[in-house]
């Protein structure tokens, strides 16, 4: 008998700050202590602004270095200043050395790590040096195991790090025979988002009423559909701007997109965030917590249906 | 003067600050606004520019001439991004992994590689009715790489003239933010008084340290009740340029596509004073050098 693989749920939004992390924290609470508990592993895939741990009371039990790409470095004792490296660099990263006359220097902030200069240098004075670009962590939380990471400021390869924490989440889920992996995604639609949504079973999009929210929803929906990922929609702060909510619903209907729930504009959400706890734990009777509970029930029902029975 | 508006955390109000700064300054200076959040560009929704020019943003990807290729594998070896692979009797190219660096082309001993543009997005230019020059980039859905569009968008820019240039940065704190910030004179960081806002602001401070740029902070949604942000800014002697209160009326107005100046005309003065502070800090830093 083969063990059933955990289903993967990714929470995305396009636009930042629409409430992905607050909703994920609510799901963490529901998965452990709600009316419909699930063995769940939590993953924070927003590695350059990793905030989920701040509301899960995460206690790291393991810390690992993340080595991303390599950057070019010029050995100043070998460089003759011939500047053959300069024209091959498309990232404007090669400059005269600040202290040594007649020697060149690679700006690590501008370097893309392509190594074109390495091959262009007749003196073999340039070397690719691997870079540590962050850490990833395995943590314990009151709601279960939690995988997260921290990309050092300004680094590339956030997509690679997202893939890595997701893989670790998957392994943790296998170890514990978890039923579900919940992934808090990054904003936008580019490389880290594509990494976050790859291989997931459901993309839950969180939008807020308003032109910007709707505009970015269209972009994230298009992205998820391109990768053939099933989607559902949550409207956060739904009562803030009813005309905007109506416009989102109209869009959803036109696109055949299921609105799985609405969360009202509720000051308990920022209050819970300040306290560093899920709103569902701190204010279980609040309108937001109740809405999140309903969304959890519907999301789980959708994901746990037998294969092929939903479309 | 070039001013970038960045935040780390998404949804803190970068676009609100960038667009209102542009609107407040437009009667005093020539103003350009560039939306560098090419994954989710929203500034146009508030400024309503008339876009008159459109360009493709592309990455130059290799095309291999099978007549000349000897399958030596040099291109596969030099590519740092695994965008080329030798599969059977062909060299395969994976466009979405290609960074367009040109290394394979230069290193092919048979001159079998030419570069062809692979479009990854578009760039648009125009102006608002009020006279703000406007440009934006848009990443094509399912394309991974935002940074090359930002780089190309900035290269389109006419560098001439004494113009206030405002760059609306993407969220996060990785390479696309660095690309937006390269070469600017000042960075306005928009934060909110929450643990998330403070955590992500610190990520941005890491980048600013590396780039050695002067900056100040705008606190949005002020009054939520978290004093650690103020405390942190005071302790680190970081100037606070403006407070925008946490008010349902503002949240509602912005959702409806209004600018702060439209919601409350007094913001005009506040943004002018924000700009005065930027100039002062910029001057002081310049004299210190």
Q: Establish if B256 touches chain A: CB-CB under 8 angstroms.
A: yes
Closest CA to A85 of A133, A140, A127: A127
CA distance A304 to chain B (A): 28
pLDDT of residue B139: 98
CA–CA separation, B262 vs B253, rounded Å? 9
**Cα separation values, A69 from A72, A83, A115, B82, B94, Å:** 10, 24, 11, 12, 18
Q: Establish if A184 touches chain B: CB-CB under 8 angstroms.
A: no
Domain boundaries, chain A: 7-57+142-304, 69-132
Q: What is the mean pLDDT of residues A28-51?
A: 97
pLDDT of residue A311: 44
Phi, psi dihedrals of residue A90, rounded to the nearest 5°:
-90, 10
What CATH code would you report for A7-57+142-304?
Answer: 3.40.50.300
pLDDT of residue A306: 67
Q: Under an 8 A CB cutoff, do B80 and A69 touch?
A: yes
Query: In this predicted model, what pLDDT tens digit does every residue of B135-194 receive, in sequence order?
Result: 999 999 999 999 999 999 999 987 778 899 999 999 999 999 999 999 999 999 999 999
Q: Is the pLDDT of residue A310 over 60?
A: no
Q: Under an 8 A CB cutoff, do B10 and A15 touch?
A: yes
Query: In this predicted model, what pLDDT tens digit does every residue of A219-266 receive, in sequence order?
Result: 999 999 999 999 999 999 999 999 999 999 999 999 999 999 999 999
Angle at A128 between CA A122 and CA A131, to 5 degrees: 160
What CATH code would you report for A69-132?
Answer: 3.30.70.20
Locate the DSSP E strands across B144-262: 164-168, 186-191, 215-222, 240-245
From chain A, pick out residues whose CB is under 8 angstroms from the CB of B39: 14, 187-190, 193, 219
From chain A, pick out residues whose CB is under 8 angstroms from the CB of B246: 270
Query: In this predicted model, what pLDDT tens digit does every residue of A102-144 receive, in sequence order?
Result: 999 999 999 999 999 999 999 999 999 999 999 999 999 999 9
Class of domain B60-119: alpha beta
Of A91, A116, A158, the CB nearest to B174: A158
All CATH 3.40.50.300 domain ranges of chain B, comma separated, are 2-48+129-288
b/e sequence B164-180, b meaning 16+ C-beta within 10 Å: bbbbbbbbbbbbbbbbb
Q: Establish if A98 touches chain B: CB-CB under 8 angstroms.
A: no
Cross-strand bridge partners of residue B119: B58
Between positions 70 and 99 of B, the ones with CB within 8 A of A are 78, 80-81, 99
Name the residue of chain A whose CA is nearest to B170's CA: A188
Q: Establish if A211 touches chain B: CB-CB under 8 angstroms.
A: yes
Instruction: Supply the ipTM of this predicted assembly.
Output: 0.94
Closest CA to B168 of B285, B28, B47, B265: B47
pLDDT of residue A307: 58
Rg (CA), chain A: 23
Mean pLDDT of chain A: 95
Mean pLDDT of chain B: 96
Name the residue of chain A whose CA is nearest to B183's CA: A110
pLDDT of residue A95: 97
Q: Establish if A152 touches chain B: CB-CB under 8 angstroms.
A: yes
Task: Band the pLDDT of A3: cuts 50, 70, 90.
Answer: low
Q: Establish if A163 touches chain B: CB-CB under 8 angstroms.
A: no
Query: In this predicted model, what pLDDT tens digit does every residue of A73-111 receive, in sequence order?
Result: 999 999 999 999 999 999 999 999 999 999 999 999 999
The reply to whether CATH 3.40.50.300 applies to domain B2-48+129-288 is yes
All CATH 3.30.70.20 domain ranges of chain B, comma separated, are 60-119
Burial label for B5, CB within 10 Å (0-12, 13-18, 19+), is buried
CA–CA separation, B83 vs B99, rounded Å? 8
Q: What is the mean pLDDT of residues A11-16?
A: 96
> Cα B134 to chain center, whole Å?
14
Q: Establish if A193 touches chain B: CB-CB under 8 angstroms.
A: yes
Of A151, A211, A274, the CB nearest to B195: A274
pLDDT of residue B162: 87
Concatenate the DSSP letters of all residues of B114-137 into one string.
EEEEEEEEEEEEEE-TTS-EEEEE
Locate the DSSP E strands across chain A: 7-12, 40-44, 59-74, 94-96, 104-106, 126-141, 144-151, 180-184, 202-207, 231-235, 258-262
Q: Do domains A7-57+142-304 and A69-132 have the same CATH topology?
A: no
* Residue ranges in chain B whose pLDDT is less than 70: none
């Amino acid at each position: 008998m083969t063990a059933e693989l955990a289903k993967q749920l990714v929470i995305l939004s396009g636009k930042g700050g629409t409430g992905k992390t607050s909703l994920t924290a609510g799901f963490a609470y529901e998965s452990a202590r709600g009316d419909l508990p699930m063995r769940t592993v939590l993953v924070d895939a927003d590695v350059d602004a990793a905030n989920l741990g701040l509301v899960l009371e995460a206690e790291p039990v393991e810390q690992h270095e993340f080595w991303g790409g390599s950057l070019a470095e010029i050995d100043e004792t070998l460089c003759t200043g011939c500047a053959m490296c300069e024209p091959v660099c498309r990232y404007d990263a090669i400059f005269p050395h600040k202290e040594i006359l007649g020697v060149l220097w690679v700006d690590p902030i501008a370097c893309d790590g392509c190594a074109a200069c390495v091959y262009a240098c007749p003196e073999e004075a340039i070397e690719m040096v691997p870079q540590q670009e962050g850490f990833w962590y395995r943590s314990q939380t009151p709601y279960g195991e939690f995988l997260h990471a921290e990309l050092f400021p300004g680094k590339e390869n956030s997509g690679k790090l997202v893939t890595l924490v997701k893989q670790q989440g998957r392994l943790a889920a296998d170890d514990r025979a978890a039923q579900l992996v919940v992934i808090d995604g990054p904003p936008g639609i580019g490389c880290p988002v594509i990494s976050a949504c790859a291989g997931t079973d459901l993309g839950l999009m969180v939008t807020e009423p308003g032109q910007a929210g709707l505009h970015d929803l269209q972009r994230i929906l298009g992205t998820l559909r391109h990768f053939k990922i099933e989607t559902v929609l949550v409207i956060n702060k739904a009562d803030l701007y009813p005309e905007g909510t109506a416009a989102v619903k109209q869009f959803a209907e036109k696109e055949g997109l299921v609105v799985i729930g609405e969360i009202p504009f509720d000051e308990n959400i920022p209050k819970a965030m300040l306290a560093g706890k899920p709103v569902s734990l701190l204010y279980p009777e609040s309108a937001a917590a109740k809405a999140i509970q309903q969304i959890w029930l519907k999301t789980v029902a959708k994901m746990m249906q037998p294969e092929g029975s939903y479309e | 003067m070039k001013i970038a508006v960045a935040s780390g955390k998404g949804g803190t109000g970068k676009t609100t600050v960038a667009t209102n700064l542009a609107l407040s300054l437009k009667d005093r200076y020539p103003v350009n606004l560039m939306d560098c959040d090419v994954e989710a560009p929203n500034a146009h929704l508030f400024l309503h520019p008339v876009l008159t020019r459109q360009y493709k943003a592309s990455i130059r990807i290799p095309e291999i001439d099978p007549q000349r290729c000897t399958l030596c594998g040099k291109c596969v070896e030099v590519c740092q991004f695994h965008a080329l692979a030798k599969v059977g009797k062909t060299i395969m190219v994976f466009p979405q992994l290609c960074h367009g660096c040109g290394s394979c082309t230069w290193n092919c001993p048979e001159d079998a590689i030419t570069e062809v543009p692979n479009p990854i997005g578009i760039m648009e230019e125009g102006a608002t009715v009020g006279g703000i020059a406007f440009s934006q980039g848009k990443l094509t859905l399912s394309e991974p790489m935002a940074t090359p569009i930002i780089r190309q968008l900035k290269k389109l820019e006419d560098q001439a003239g004494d113009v206030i240039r405002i760059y609306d940065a993407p969220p996060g704190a990785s390479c696309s933010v660095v690309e937006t910030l390269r070469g600017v004179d000042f960075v306005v960081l928009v934060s909110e008084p929450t643990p998330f806002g403070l955590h992500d602001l610190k990520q941005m401070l890491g980048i600013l340290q590396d780039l050695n740029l002067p900056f100040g902070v705008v606190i949005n949604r002020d009054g939520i009740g978290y004093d650690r942000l103020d405390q942190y800014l005071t302790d680190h002697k970081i100037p606070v340029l403006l407070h925008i209160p946490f008010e349902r009326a503002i949240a509602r107005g912005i959702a409806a596509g209004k600018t702060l100046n439209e919601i409350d005309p007094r913001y005009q003065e506040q943004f002018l004073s924000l700009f005065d502070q930027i100039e002062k800090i910029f001057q002081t830093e310049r004299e210190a050098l």
